Structure 1
Amino acid sequence: MNIPNRQQGPRIFSDYNIQLPSFKSTMLANDLELIELNDGSQEIIRVDYVYKSGRVNESVRASAKASFYLLREGTRNTTAHQIAEKFDYYGAYIRVFAGLEYSSLSLVVMSKYFEEVWPVFLEMITDPDFTEDELSSYKRIYSEKLRNELSKNDVLAYRRLTEIIFGDQHPYGYNTEPSDILALKLDQVNAYRDTCHGTNNALAVISGKYSEKVSELCKASLGAIDMKTSTFKQEFFNPDIKHVFEKLATDQTVQTSLKIGRKLFKRKHSDFSKMQVANTLLGGYFGSRLMKNIREEKGYTYGIYSSVDVWKEDGFFYISADVSNNAIEPTIEEINKEIKRLQTEPVPDNEFRMVKNFMLGQILHLIDGPFASGQLIKNIYAKELDIEHFKNHIDGIKGTTKNDVMEMARKYLDEKSFITVLAGNF
């Protein structure tokens, strides 16, 4: 009998060979791209119908999200109640996502009931019927939700930060208000749907375990959707940004929300992977330097993190924490100290290896099962990337050096370029 040595930890696995599962892509006759990932052991199917449009394409504020959320509120032949009743009966569910650059309508159902609910799901895509009553209900619910969100310091600080970075006329920067939602008119929501829901600007992803019959049914019915070309235009206005330190006075007295950030680059930028490694070291995971110093050692906050958010046309870096008023200045001071360390000191071997393994492990998690893999592939295609970009990102993480990290910190984390926003009761 072999007794393990409890004083010696298990070997750290670092030789990651990350491969996406095989999938099939078909361009249907109406310019709709269909991606199929037939895998898994559970008899469950997920279908994502993706529109490569979102808030960046709206000419009337709040119209994009309304046009997608109202898809589940009835068609010309089926009411919202009938749709809900049908899906509940077969244990299926519908999910709507409305994002900045793409949006989706998703169906999850057991394989044996797919043919029962598929016609209704397809009807929601091809023949939605937006009514005044449903729009009024949507406006009431979502304006109140937004009003509740605007009572939070964290939300207010984030909104103001992005508004300063991108500008109040930029789709990445302007802030939707409850009044924008309440002012929506039905013809405005219909106009967004008519201009941005075209098949040439859409993508369908089927994942899970399903039969060839289901595959052929999806190809035939999705391919039969009337071809419609999206006609939207995108306009981006970038403001001149200067170093800003701004305080927003609120009624929330518990903690002040601190946001520090700056404009960065687009998602296809050559520095993306290297900057992600630098960001992860600084504040991108629970064991990051900011967490260890400001949370664990100093006790200034319950949590602090940094993030790199990139999109098709632009991106930004930011640091976020909630602190008491008497800890604001010490927190900012410690943040600057950690950035300075990243700029001037090579990362120790153990920490560098651990962070890279963490990042690669997170990517492995993204392909854990057919649904997760399907979502990753959906995101890659919806963001107008390709599989090579995904592979290059993995290689970029592996190939990032300690000197690269210091270079990224010096290049992008100069405190003189930072915008700082505080939201709280001062």
Structure 2
Amino acid sequence: MTDRTIAPDFGQVENIELIQAKPIVLDNGLKVFSVNGGDQDLVRIEFIFENIAYDATKPLQSYATNTMLNDGTNELSASEIADRIDYYGAFLQTDFSNDQSIVTLYSLNKHLPETLPVVKAIISDSIFPEVELETLIRNQKQKLSVNLEKNDFLSRKIFNSVLFSNTLYGYDTRAEDYDRLNRSQLQEYFSLAYQPENCTVVIAGKVTEETLSLIDGLFGKNWQGGMSVSPNSFNFYAGTGQEHYVEKADALQSAIRLGKIAINRSHADFPGMQVLNTILGGYFGSRLMANIREDKGYTYGIGSALVSMKNAGYFFIASEVGADVCSSALTEIQKEIEILKSETVSGSELDLVRNYMLGSMLGGLENALSHADKFKNIYFSGLGYEYYQNYIKTVRTISASEIKALANKYLDWDGMEKVIVGKKD
């Protein structure tokens, strides 16, 4: 009989094997990376375009272009595009981030001869119909109007603007910017950005030779660009740690967002900072959750994160707390930061965080798609797979004194921008 009062032996994660992406270069120079794994006859194919040619006078240009890609081509209407994809049980989506615009297809391999030509059409022949653009503008203005009433949305908007002013990263969305959108802006950006020289294809799942041959035929031999492109490049500088307060007299909760410009994934300190962040506010058992939620009851949730982007990284702490305890919550947050800077983390707490981080990484590698996501993290940061070897080593071996040193190096309370939307008690 198993004695269930005795905990099973513990074994720390020693190594994590990743399915490495296989590089392929097509005839037109298009870069393709294949992550082959799994038994299901399914693939995810991502067409990833770098955001380029940012123009502050047309701040929504790249976003709107990506959003409207599946709204019509010279041969297919928006409804015909949707019907063709749905008929074959596939899924097509567009995503926009600060650095990239992405078109993603999920499809069974056997249906790719029917679904992939639709993707080819939208990334090479989109026409951005006026009626669809008018619908986009109307819907997005209404969505913005609703979101501006939410304290959390407003705090995030102000925070990004303070950290990354006058760039795509910190763009402060306004309704009038939607009114300035026009079809010629989208056509202009489409002709510049959506070409093979500016595209990386990442295919993950059960990747067959037939699938690769089909991609080569559609996107290698029959997709020509020829224009030189240069991805957006921005420079950022640390702020002075000001408080940015937007009062809402009837607020029951106040949104808090504070942080500063920090390092990104390409910096040697990034893995260690991930450990520090996890201790502070990166998981449910973090110090901020234990103090602000569990002990004080000021909030339902609070967390911190270290965000890596191409041109910058930033650290932030965010929460929504009762309006009558806003100042008290800020005091407790500062206290937790100062403790990390003045006291070493206990061995038991550090072991718990190590196990959580390595277990989360291992548990997240459930299929070829998640292995492809890990590849994208390093590829677009200019790194190789040795990054993950170093990451695992750092998580397993970083000392309490090293964590304390990182806290003193990067967690400067006075240098953090502090955004509060709501009421201060």
Superposition deviation, residue 394 in structure 1: 2.6
Q: Distance in 1 between matches of 2:268 and 2:2?
A: 45
Q: What is aligned with 1:199? A: 196
Residues 57/349 of structure 1: CA separation in 2 closer, same or farther (3 Å cut): farther
Q: What is aligned with 1:223? A: 220
Please point out which of 209, 213, 218 is paired with 1:212: 209
Deviation digits for residues 320-371 of structure 1, max 9, x if unmatched? 1111122112111111221122112221112101111211222223421012
Q: Distance in 2 between matches of 1:238 and 1:381?
A: 22
1:255/1:322 contact within 8 Å kept: yes
Q: What is aligned with 1:328? A: 326
Matches within 5 A, 1:241-320: 241-250=239-248, 253-320=251-318
2:185 maps to amino acid: Q
Q: Distance in 1 between matches of 2:195 and 2:405?
A: 43
Please point out which of 140, 143, 148 is paired with 1:142: 140
Q: What is aligned with 1:46? A: 44
SS of 1:151's partner is: coil
Q: Distance in 2 between matches of 1:45 and 1:73?
A: 24
Corresponding pairs, count:
423
Deviation digits for residues 8-45 of structure 1, max 9, x if unmatched? 22233313311211431111222211111222121112
Root-mean-square deviation (Å): 2.0
Q: What is aligned with 1:180? A: 177
- Identity among equivalent pairs (%): 31
Deviation digits for residues 124-159 of structure 1, max 9, x if unmatched? 122212221221121112222222222210111112
Residues 302/370 of structure 1: CA separation in 2 closer, same or farther (3 Å cut): same
Q: Distance in 1 between matches of 2:68 and 2:377?
A: 22
Q: What is aligned with 1:370? A: 368
2:50/2:198 contact within 8 Å kept: yes
SS of 2:315's partner is: strand
Q: What is aligned with 2:120? A: 122
Superposition deviation, residue 112 in structure 1: 2.1
Residues 235/379 of structure 1: CA separation in 2 closer, same or farther (3 Å cut): closer
Residues 251/19 of structure 1: CA separation in 2 closer, same or farther (3 Å cut): farther
Q: Distance in 2 between matches of 1:66 and 1:79?
A: 18
Q: TM-score, normalised by structure 1?
A: 0.93
SS of 1:145's partner is: helix
1:170/1:238 contact within 8 Å kept: no
2:247 maps to amino acid: A
Residues 238/191 of structure 1: CA separation in 2 closer, same or farther (3 Å cut): same
1:97/1:103 contact within 8 Å kept: yes
Deviation digits for residues 167-225 of structure 1, max 9, x if unmatched? 2x132222122221232011112222222223222111111124321221112222121
Residues 333/251 of structure 1: CA separation in 2 closer, same or farther (3 Å cut): closer
Indicate the larger mover: 106-115 or 374-383: 374-383
Q: Distance in 2 between matches of 1:223 and 1:57?
A: 30
1:54/1:98 contact within 8 Å kept: no
Query: Are 1:21 and 2:19 counterparts?
Result: yes
2:298 maps to amino acid: Y
Please point out which of 359, 362, 372 is paired with 1:361: 359
Matches within 5 A, 1:60-75: 60-75=58-73
Q: What is aligned with 1:170? A: 167
1:54/1:65 contact within 8 Å kept: no
Q: TM-score, normalised by structure 2?
A: 0.94
Q: What is aligned with 1:400? A: 398
2:314 maps to amino acid: F
Q: Distance in 2 between matches of 1:215 and 1:243?
A: 51
- Which portions of structure 1, spanning 4 or more consecutive aligned residues, are displaced by more than 6 angstroms? none
Q: Distance in 1 between matches of 2:411 and 2:207?
A: 48
